[in-house]
Structure 1
Amino acid sequence: MRPLIRRRPTPALPAAALSAVLAVTAAGCSLESSGGDADPGSLAEHASLEGASLTVGSKEFTEQLVLCQVTGLALRSVGAEVSEECGLQGSNTTRSALESGDIDMYWEYTGTAWINYLGHTDPIGDPAEQYARAAEQDLSENDVRWLAPAPANNTYAIVALADRAEELGVSTLSEYAALVRQEPSAGSLCVAAEFAGRDDGLPGLQDAYGFEVPDGDLATMAAGAIYEAVAGGDPCAFGEAATTDGRIPALGLTVLEDDEGFFPVYNPALTVRESVYAENPDLAAVFEPIAAALTDAELQDLNAQVDLDGLDPEDVARDWLVAQGFIGG
Structure 2
Amino acid sequence: MADDVEPGSIGRGEPLKGAHLTVTSKSFTESLVMGAIMGIAFQAAGADVLDRTGIQGSIGGREAVLKGDADAMYEYTGTAWITYQGNSEPITDPYRQWEAVRDADLRNGLTWLPPSRLNNTYALAMNRANFKKYGTKTLSDVAVLAKRDPGAVTLCVEGEFANRADGLPGMRRAYGMDVPSGRITQMDTGIIYTQAAKGSCVYGEVFTTDGRITSMDLVVMDDDKKFFPNYNAAPEINTETLKKWPAIAEVLNPITEKLDNTVAQELNAKVDVEGEDPHQVGLDWLKKEGFVK
TM-score, normalising length from structure 1? 0.79
Q: Which residue of 1 aligns with 2:205?
A: 240
CA distance, structure 1, for counterparts of residue 58 and residue 2 of structure 2: 23
- Secondary structure of the residue aligned to 1:124 is coil
Q: Which residue of 2 aligns with 1:303?
A: 268
Structure 1 residues 57 and 145 mapped into 2: Cα distance closer, same or farther (>3 Å)? same
Report the CA distance between 1:314 and its aligned residue.
Answer: 1.5
CA distance, structure 1, for counterparts of residue 59 and residue 254 of structure 2: 28
> Is the Cα–Cα contact under 8 Å of residues 49 and 79 in structure 1 kept in the other structure?
yes
Q: Which residue of 2 aligns with 1:86?
A: 53
Amino acid at match of 1:278: K
CA distance, structure 1, for counterparts of residue 208 and residue 73 of structure 2: 20
Report the CA distance between 1:57 and its aligned residue.
Answer: 1.5
> Is the Cα–Cα contact under 8 Å of residues 51 and 79 in structure 1 kept in the other structure?
yes
List runs of 5+ in structure 1 lacking aligned partners: 1-33
> Is the Cα–Cα contact under 8 Å of residues 213 and 219 in structure 2 kept in the other structure?
yes
- Secondary structure of the residue aligned to 2:246 is coil
Alignment of 1:125 onto 2:116? no
Deviations 1:150-191 (A, max 9, x none): 122222211111321342453321333455567777433333
Report the CA distance between 1:217 and its aligned residue.
Answer: 2.7
Report the CA distance between 1:318 and its aligned residue.
Answer: 0.9
- Secondary structure of the residue aligned to 2:50 is strand
Deviations 1:273-323 (A, max 9, x none): 212222221110110111111122222221222222222111211111112
Partner of residue 208 from structure 1, selected from 156, 174, 178? 174
Structure 1 residues 53 and 184 mapped into 2: Cα distance closer, same or farther (>3 Å)? farther
Alignment of 1:258 onto 2:223? yes
Q: Which residue of 1 aligns with 2:118?
A: 152
CA distance, structure 2, for counterparts of residue 319 and residue 70 of structure 1: 9
Q: Which residue of 2 aligns with 1:95?
A: 62
> Is the Cα–Cα contact under 8 Å of residues 180 and 213 in structure 1 kept in the other structure?
no
Deviations 1:233-268 (A, max 9, x none): 34x332221222232122121111212210122221
CA distance, structure 2, for counterparts of residue 68 and residue 304 of structure 1: 17
> Is the Cα–Cα contact under 8 Å of residues 189 and 213 in structure 1 kept in the other structure?
no
Alignment of 1:318 onto 2:283? yes
Q: Which residue of 2 aligns with 1:56?
A: 23
Report the CA distance between 1:119 and its aligned residue.
Answer: 2.5
> Is the Cα–Cα contact under 8 Å of residues 7 and 14 in structure 2 kept in the other structure?
no
Partner of residue 237 from structure 2, selected from 272, 276, 282? 272
Q: Which residue of 1 aligns with 2:193?
A: 227
Amino acid at match of 1:54: L
Amino acid at match of 2:123: A
Partner of residue 176 from structure 1, selected from 142, 145, 149? 142
Q: Kindly tell me the number of residue pairs found equivalent between the two proteins.
A: 292
CA distance, structure 2, for counterparts of residue 99 and residue 199 of structure 1: 27
- Of all paired residues, the percent bearing the same amino acid is 43
Deviations 1:121-142 (A, max 9, x none): 32222222222222111212x2
CA distance, structure 2, for counterparts of residue 204 and residue 89 of structure 1: 27
List runs of 5+ in structure 2 lacking aligned partners: none
Deviations 1:76-96 (A, max 9, x none): 111212122222333233333
Q: Which moved more, 1:263-272 or 1:243-252?
A: 243-252
